[in-house]
């Protein structure tokens, strides 16, 4: 019986979900995470819908699947919402729940979800923390090609497939020669989150009980979402669970509109900066951005790096192999990419995590097919791996880049904002 092993770089949501799928199907694998086990990241809220559910269904056992559904309330139709588009004067333009084709979503803390996905992988001994990937090389063992993965501490590991799930700053993407992840230097992305006790919820606009709010105005964009047990206007403090309730907002500000700062690190009070920027907006938005400022242990408003991705040609691997890009294994079909490592998305566009988790449902069958080949006798040949890799990438390109590839809408946000409705319908909204 031939051996088959998968190496995953990155212990984020996509890497961990795929690892669950491999574990539940008896595939040998190892996942490497650069962060230490002790690091506890304060996760921001993520909204999950049908694409994420598809990934969960494909990769999780029934017990963990049900546990996660309970955590973000997907089992209750009342908790599934869609955002509404508003003007900066708090006038509703469109409630996306009115569009039957728009996929609704529910909220969960990102780190809570990550911990749930990591638990079975850690218990099985398949994850190594504090392992920072540096590069890979293609080796030959017994007449078959394999991937040798190297880390900063000098250690290495061998596998049949390397999967880069290391996010929008992917080193695997760089090494394999795709290099389609583009930093967006036109905007600063300010993010904040916090608890949402009942008295704080009552200070927010009642519309937030229905679902998230999105605003586009003069090159800026704003997103606000709250998570609580009841999405109805009849909510009471008796039924309200303050331990689970939270809020999250993101504000993208065009750098061209800011003259007093060269870099966001110069901004001493980021919340005040955000409030000053939206001084002409309706008071409701000022209340949203001000929420939680009195929390003693509340961290400062966070600034996230923005990246987008360019759609690669279907022959990018052949080109990378010709160019070599400084790596003899450039473009090699035994190196695959997953989630933000191949299609980076903006944190407040709401689909990055969903599409990354959906990727796991798409990639898993191809890996299982290769594992079955190995179990029948010999390890899969590079030609067989290449065929599976080509199918995975070609079958998913439209889904990946219909969501996140419109760089023009980010470079010229005053002219148009593109809101994608599922994967094939779009609506252009010009807002001034």
Which domain CATH number covers 46? 3.50.50.60
pLDDT digits (tens, 9 = 90+) for 282-297: 999 999 999 877 776 6
pLDDT over 60 at 108, yes or no? yes
423 occurs within a structural domain: no
CA-closest candidate to residue 274, choices 190, 368, 373: 190
425 occurs within a structural domain: no
Q: How many CB atoms lie within 10 A of CB 237?
A: 11
Same domain, yes or no: 286 and 242 = yes
414 occurs within a structural domain: no
Q: Provide the pLDDT for residue 425.
A: 32
Q: Which domain holds residue 326?
A: 5-75+108-183+307-406
- Encoding tokens for residue 256? 């061209």
Same domain, yes or no: 36 and 151 = yes
Same domain, yes or no: 294 and 328 = no
Q: Provide the pLDDT for residue 193.
A: 85
pLDDT over 70 at 414, yes or no? no
102 occurs within a structural domain: no
Determine the Cα–Cα distance for residues 413 and 222; give it in Å rounded to an integer: 13
Same domain, yes or no: 290 and 311 = no
Same domain, yes or no: 289 and 357 = no
pLDDT over 90 at 352, yes or no? no
Comparison of pLDDT for 182 and 103, the residue scoring more: 182
Same domain, yes or no: 221 and 266 = yes
pLDDT over 90 at 133, yes or no? yes
Tokens 């105005």 locate to 217
Q: Provide the pLDDT for residue 77.
A: 41
68-77, 88-97, 383-392: which has the minimum mean pLDDT? 68-77
Comparison of pLDDT for 40 and 335, the residue scoring more: 335
- Encoding tokens for residue 12? 């984020």
Contact 188, 264 (CB under 8 A): yes
Cα distances (angstroms) measured from residue 368 to each of 257, 358, 401:
51, 16, 25
Q: Provide the pLDDT for residue 42.
A: 52
Same domain, yes or no: 393 and 257 = no
222 occurs within a structural domain: yes
Q: Provide the pLDDT for residue 428.
A: 31
pTM here is 0.82
Same domain, yes or no: 382 and 247 = no
Q: Provide the pLDDT for residue 411.
A: 43
pLDDT over 60 at 149, yes or no? yes
pLDDT over 80 at 240, yes or no? no
Q: Provide the pLDDT for residue 420.
A: 33
pLDDT over 50 at 302, yes or no? yes
Band (pLDDT 50/70/90 cuts) for residue 244 is: low
Q: End of a domain among 255, 270, 304? A: 304
Secondary structure (3-state) at 249: strand
12 occurs within a structural domain: yes
Q: Give me the mean pLDDT over the 143-148 stretch.
A: 95
Band (pLDDT 50/70/90 cuts) for residue 102 is: low
Same domain, yes or no: 237 and 283 = yes
- Give the side-chain half-sphere CA count within 13 A for 312: 25
250 occurs within a structural domain: yes
Q: Provide the pLDDT for residue 78.
A: 42
pLDDT over 60 at 67, yes or no? yes
Q: Provide the pLDDT for residue 40.
A: 54
Helical spans, DSSP H, in 246-325:
270-277, 283-290, 316-323
Same domain, yes or no: 283 and 376 = no
Chain mean pLDDT for the chain = 83
Give the contacts of 118 (CB within 8 A, at least 6 positions apart): 11, 16, 127
7-11, 181-185, 325-329, 356-360: which has the minimum mean pLDDT? 325-329
Same domain, yes or no: 198 and 288 = yes
Q: In the chain, how many domains are there?
A: 2
Q: Give me the mean pLDDT over the 190-205 stretch.
A: 86
Q: Provide the pLDDT for residue 233.
A: 45
45 occurs within a structural domain: yes
Same domain, yes or no: 323 and 175 = yes
Which percentage of the chain shows pLDDT scores above 70?
80
Q: End of a domain among 249, 281, 304? A: 304
Determine the Cα–Cα distance for residues 155 and 172; give it in Å rounded to an integer: 17
Q: End of a domain among 278, 304, 330? A: 304
């Amino acid at each position: 019986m031939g051996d088959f092993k998968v190496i995953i770089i990155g212990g984020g949501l996509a890497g961990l979900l795929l690892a669950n799928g491999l574990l539940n199907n008896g595939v040998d694998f190892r996942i490497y995470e650069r962060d230490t086990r002790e690091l506890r990241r304060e996760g921001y809220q993520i909204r999950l819908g049908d694409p994420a559910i598809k990934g969960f269904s494909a990769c999780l056992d029934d017990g963990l699947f049900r546990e996660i559904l309970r955590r973000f309330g997907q089992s209750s139709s009342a908790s599934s919402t869609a955002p509404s588009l508003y003007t900066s004067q708090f006038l509703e333009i469109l409630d996306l729940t009115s569009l039957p084709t728009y996929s609704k979503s529910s909220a969960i803390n990102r780190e809570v979800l990550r911990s749930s996905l990591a638990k079975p992988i850690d218990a099985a001994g398949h994850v190594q923390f504090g392992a920072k990937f540096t590069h890979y090389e293609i080796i030959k063992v017994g007449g078959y090609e394999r991937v040798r993965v190297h880390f900063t501490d000098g250690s290495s590991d061998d596998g049949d497939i390397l999967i880069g799930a290391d996010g929008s700053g992917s080193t695997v993407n760089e090494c394999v020669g795709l290099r389609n992840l583009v930093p967006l230097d036109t905007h600063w992305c300010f993010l904040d989150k916090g608890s949402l006790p009942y008295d704080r919820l009552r200070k927010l606009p009642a519309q937030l009980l229905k679902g998230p709010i999105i605003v586009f105005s003069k090159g800026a964009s704003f997103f606000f979402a709250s998570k609580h047990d009841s999405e109805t206007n009849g909510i009471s403090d008796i039924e309200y669970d303050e331990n689970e309730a939270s809020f999250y907002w993101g504000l993208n500000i065009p750098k061209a509109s800011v003259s007093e700062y060269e870099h966001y690190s110069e901004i001493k009070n980021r919340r005040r900066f955000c409030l000053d920027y939206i001084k002409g907006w309706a008071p409701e938005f000022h209340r949203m951005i001000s929420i939680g400022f009195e929390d003693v242990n509340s961290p400062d408003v966070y600034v996230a790096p923005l990246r987008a991705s360019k759609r690669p040609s279907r022959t990018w691997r052949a080109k990378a192999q010709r160019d070599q890009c400084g790596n003899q294994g450039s473009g090699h079909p035994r190196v695959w990419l997953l989630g933000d490592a191949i299609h980076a998305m903006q944190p407040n566009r709401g689909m990055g995590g969903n599409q990354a988790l959906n990727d796991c449902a798409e990639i898993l069958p191809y890996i299982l097919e290769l594992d079955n080949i190995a179990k029948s006798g010999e390890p899969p040949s590079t030609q067989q791996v290449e065929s599976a890799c080509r199918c995975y990438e070609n079958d998913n390109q439209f889904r990946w880049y219909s969501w996140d590839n419109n760089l023009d809408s980010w470079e010229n946000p005053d002219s148009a904002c593109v809101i994608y409705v599922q994967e094939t319908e779009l609506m252009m909204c010009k807002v001034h």
